[in-house]
Amino acid sequence: MPPINAPVLPGPAQTQIDALRKQYHGLDSLIARLKNLSGGTLAVQQELARNAREESKAIESKIENLRLLSDEQDKEADRSMILIMLEKIESQFKQQQQSLRQAILTSKQTIDKEAKSERELLLKGTKSAIELSEIRRRGASKGNTGEYMLSTSKEQNESLSRTLQLMQQEVERTAHSAKIIDESSRTLRSTVNEYQTYDEVLKQGKNLIAKLSQADWIDRLLIGFGLLVFSLVVMYILKKRIADRGISLLGYFFMPIRWFLSLLMPSLRDVPVTPPSVPTPPMVTRVVEKITETVAEKVAEVAAEPTSTVRGIFNLMDALVGEPDF
């Protein structure tokens, strides 16, 4: 990847840009090794690919840190400069990611081709060993046993060495494949266990939500019933304290009128048709005596009963308002 030509940036931003340059060069070297991989095993190719992916993730993390650093800048010029650099870095990083994927694919194809050619050589080596055995048999029949034996042994040793090397590579591939399968199996088992745990948690949460919903409705009904009872109690108190007392007070206000009318009614009934005249002294005397006796009786009753002063006054007024018994 070509170097990133950046203007002068603030100290922390410039430090991160320099670190990104170094990581870019390291990732470029890994990509080049993957592209030019020849004669290596599958384990080597996978190790290089893993290192390249880790380096790519580290670069991506530093790009994100640089973006956060741009938001922390006080000057708008520094922030704009860092954002421009980020755009260039991200475009170059995308190109590098494409190169990495292509290099991994190329190295995999190269290893597959080499494995295929090695298998073909192994088959050819077996065929050559058979042919050499036939030649040795013929040479022995002609009397050149020593020379043929030497050349045959040498070729067989070379063939066996190649076969041993191919078998070792196959064993390594098989062991690596078995390891990968074992890791995948463990991952799948752990995933299944996690999903089962999540399923149980979801069921418990569903039951809890249903119970909470029922409790919510019950609480609403209780609150509504409580408000209804409270409203009825308030209305009853208002009726007792305001409406009934207001009617009683109106009755007390009209008591003097009733008392006055009750005093006048007997006099009006006893008035003769003749022109009005002043009542005789005995009549007035009896009325006054009757009123005095009534007042005295009521005062005695009030003094005897343990009632309030206001209640005693009201009882006294009731007694006065009532029609006297002549």
CA distance 208 to 203: 9
Confidence of residue 305 (pLDDT cuts 50, 70, 90): low
CA distance 61 to 52: 14
CATH number at residue 80: 1.20.58
More reliable by pLDDT, 87 or 13: 87
For the chain, the domain total comes to 2
In this predicted model, what pLDDT tens digit does every residue of 184-209 receive, in sequence order?
888 899 889 888 998 899 999 999 99
Q: Which amino acid is at 6?
A: A
pLDDT at 134: 56
Decide if pLDDT at 31 tops 50.
Answer: yes
pLDDT at 323: 42
CA distance 39 to 114: 7
pLDDT at 218: 95
pLDDT at 140: 46
pLDDT at 209: 94
Mean pLDDT of 123-143: 52
CA distance to 7, 63, 86, 94, per residue, from 27 (Å): 24, 15, 18, 13
CA distance 15 to 32: 26
In this predicted model, what pLDDT tens digit does every residue of 251-270 receive, in sequence order?
666 666 666 666 666 555 55
- Domain-terminating residue out of 73, 91, 116: 116
Confidence of residue 143 (pLDDT cuts 50, 70, 90): very low
pLDDT at 166: 83
Mean pLDDT of 70-78: 76
Mean pLDDT of 211-225: 94
Question: What is the average pLDDT value for the chain, to the nearest integer?
Answer: 72
- Is residue 104 situated within a structural domain? yes
What SS3 string covers 235-302? HHHHHHHHHHHHHHHHHHHCHHHHHHHHHHHHHHHHCCCCCCCCCCHHHHHHHHHHHHHHHHHHHHHH
Where would I find the H helices in the chain?
Answer: 11-35, 42-71, 76-142, 145-238, 244-253, 255-270, 281-304, 309-321
Neighbours of 37 (CB within 10 A): 21
Decide if pLDDT at 183 tops 70.
Answer: yes
Given its phi and psi angles, is residue 237 left (phi above 0), alpha (psi -120 to 50 degrees) or beta?
alpha
- Is residue 200 situated within a structural domain? no
Mean pLDDT of 67-86: 78
- Domain-terminating residue out of 82, 116, 150: 116
pLDDT at 264: 64
- Is residue 77 situated within a structural domain? yes
CA distance 157 to 160: 5
Confidence of residue 308 (pLDDT cuts 50, 70, 90): very low
- Is residue 304 situated within a structural domain? yes
pLDDT at 280: 46
Neighbours of 129 (CB within 10 A): 16
CA distance 60 to 20: 10
Q: Which amino acid is at 85?
A: M
Per DSSP, the three-state class of 57 is helix
- Is residue 218 situated within a structural domain? no
**Long-range contacts from 170-179, C-beta under 8 angstroms, 24+ separation:** 172/41, 172/42, 172/43, 173/41, 173/42, 173/115, 176/42, 176/43, 176/46
Distance, first Cα to last Cα, the chain: 133
- Domain-terminating residue out of 54, 84, 116: 116
* pTM of this structure: 0.35
Residue with tokens 């080596």: 125
In this predicted model, what pLDDT tens digit does every residue of 55-73 receive, in sequence order?
888 888 888 888 888 777 7
- Is residue 189 situated within a structural domain? no
**Residue 276: which domain range?**
255-326
- Is residue 72 situated within a structural domain? yes
- Is residue 183 situated within a structural domain? no
Q: Residues 88, 24: contact at Cβ < 8 Å?
A: no
pLDDT at 311: 52
Residue 189, both tokens: 């088992």
Confidence of residue 227 (pLDDT cuts 50, 70, 90): very high
More reliable by pLDDT, 32 or 210: 210
Mean pLDDT of 10-37: 78
More reliable by pLDDT, 215 or 111: 215
Decide if pLDDT at 91 tops 70.
Answer: yes
Residue 210, both tokens: 């249903």
pLDDT at 278: 45
